[in-house]
């Protein structure tokens, strides 16, 4: 019950933070990156976790270079937002950033879409047409899901990276372009290289500066801010007076692993808000989302028996810190000071347990 109580108290604190974030969003008061608890709202990247701050700092440094950047991460982590952040912090910010979803390009049209084609290059090519590289000239070209590109197109992409030249389909002429290339993938490109599905020389050109984007489960500190952002989005979109999470719903979010990452969180909250309305909530109500509306595969349930009354002399945050310290020390004692076993007992990632212990002054 001590762990359950700790989670409930922490949820109460997070609910307060959510309400504050919602008010700030409605009033347009959220600051830009690095100035307060919500980072980089200007660039649509929300969070304050150390993992996110490290990535933002790294992006700021590499943005000033002309190096190709490869963004690595699971589906739904927001790789496109990080690419846009990189572009906006670069010297090319006043030039276009062109987005290409490589997975959506039919193999027969991929070369024409990227590099353009001349008149008569194929049936239906009635006039000359510029490609995405032309559109991005002077700016940035973002190739999302680059691992999906056909091998034939990969060879031509390599030439652009090597020589800065493109050749339109059906033309013998080479054309110089000045483009910063940023690519992203959720695939293991090294494994694709071994399997012959991706060119090794292109991989080494694209991955001059790889940046792994952490999944949401490694950014647990950002969950409340992200949830608050999506709550406010849905409140505004649906015309609601107020949209909030019940403390038990907040616990459910905290207890879920988020395999679909931020995109899944967005969809879960959007679906729950619509369900609440379909089940009779009025737009003039203060709509409270209960855990059953979230429809998550696994949830953390509140204790069935009443929690003991505790009257801490300090504030709620200090009380939560004390409970967390006690839980960590108990787990370490039970597992002979083995941090990995203690992390499993506490249902935490080992790296997150070390970070939490450092924050609490236990290391």
> What is the tens place of the pLDDT at every residue in 184-240?
999 999 999 999 999 999 999 999 999 999 999 999 889 999 999 999 999 999 999
Residue 306 has pLDDT above 50, yes or no: no
Residue 30 has pLDDT above 50, yes or no: no
Q: Give the HSE-up count for residue 180: Cα atoms under 13 Å, Cβ half-sphere.
A: 26
Rounded Cα distance, 321 and 316, in Å = 9
Tell me if 2-37+219-294 shares its fold with 50-216.
no
Rounded Cα distance, 206 and 161, in Å = 8
| CATH architecture of the domain covering 50-216 | 3-Layer(aba) Sandwich (3.40)
pLDDT of residue 8: 55
CA distances from 193 to 142, 145, 190, 199, 317 (A): 21, 15, 5, 6, 49
Q: Give the HSE-up count for residue 99: Cα atoms under 13 Å, Cβ half-sphere.
A: 8
Residue with the bigger pLDDT between 251 and 188: it is 188
Q: Indicate the CATH number of 2-37+219-294 among 3.60.21.70, 1.10.15.40, 1.10.540.10, 1.10.8.60.
A: 1.10.8.60
pLDDT of residue 19: 54
Rounded Cα distance, 101 and 276, in Å = 34
Greatest Cα pair distance, the chain, in angstroms, is 81
Task: List the structure tokens of 218.
Answer: 């490694």
SS3 content of the chain, % helix, strand, coil (to 5): 50, 10, 40
Nearest to 134 by CA among 95, 91, 107: 95
Q: Return mean pLDDT, the chain.
A: 83
Strands 175-176 and 140-144: unpaired
Nearest to 231 by CA among 249, 246, 243: 243
Residue 37 has pLDDT above 80, yes or no: no
Where in the chain are the domains?
2-37+219-294, 50-216, 316-359
Please state which of the ranges 203-207, 321-325, 339-343, 345-349 shows the lowest mean pLDDT: 321-325
Q: What contacts 305, CB < 8 A, 6 or more positions away?
A: 1
Radius of gyration for the chain, computed over Cα atoms and rounded to the nearest angstrom = 25
pLDDT of residue 10: 57
């Amino acid at each position: 019950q001590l762990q359950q109580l700790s989670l409930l108290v922490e949820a109460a604190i997070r609910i307060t933070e959510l309400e504050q974030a919602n008010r700030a969003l409605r009033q347009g008061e959220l600051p830009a990156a690095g100035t307060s608890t919500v980072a980089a709202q200007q660039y649509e990247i929300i969070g304050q976790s150390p993992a996110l701050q490290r990535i933002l700092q790294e992006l700021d440094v590499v943005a000033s270079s002309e190096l190709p950047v490869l963004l690595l991460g699971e589906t739904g982590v927001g790789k496109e937002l990080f690419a846009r952040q990189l572009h906006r912090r670069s010297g090319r910010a006043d030039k276009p950033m062109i987005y290409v979803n490589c997975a959506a390009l039919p193999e027969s049209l991929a070369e024409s879409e990227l590099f353009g084609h001349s008149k008569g290059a194929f049936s239906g090519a009635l006039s000359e047409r510029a490609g995405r590289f032309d559109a991005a000239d002077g700016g940035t070209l973002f190739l999302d899901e680059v691992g999906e590109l056909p091998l034939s197109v990969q060879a031509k992409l390599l030439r652009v990276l090597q020589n800065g030249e493109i050749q339109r389909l059906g033309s013998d002429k080479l054309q110089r372009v000045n483009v910063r290339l940023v690519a992203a993938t959720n695939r293991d490109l090294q494994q694709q290289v071994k399997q012959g599905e991706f060119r090794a020389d292109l991989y080494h050109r694209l991955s001059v500066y790889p940046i792994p984007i952490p999944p949401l489960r490694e950014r647990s500190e950002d969950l409340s801010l992200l949830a608050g952002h999506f709550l406010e989005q849905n409140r505004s979109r649906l015309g609601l007076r107020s949209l909030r999470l019940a403390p038990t719903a907040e616990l459910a979010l905290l207890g879920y692993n988020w395999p679909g990452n931020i995109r899944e969180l967005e969809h879960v909250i959007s679906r729950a808000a619509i369900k609440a309305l379909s089940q009779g909530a009025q737009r003039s109500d203060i709509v409270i989302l209960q855990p059953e509306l979230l429809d998550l595969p696994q949830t953390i349930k509140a204790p069935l028996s009443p929690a003991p009354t505790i009257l801490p002399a300090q504030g709620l945050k200090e009380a939560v810190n004390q409970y967390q310290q006690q839980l960590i020390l108990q787990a370490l004692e039970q597992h002979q000071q083995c941090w990995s076993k203690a992390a499993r007992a506490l249902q935490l990632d080992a790296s997150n347990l070390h970070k939490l212990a450092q924050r609490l002054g236990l290391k």
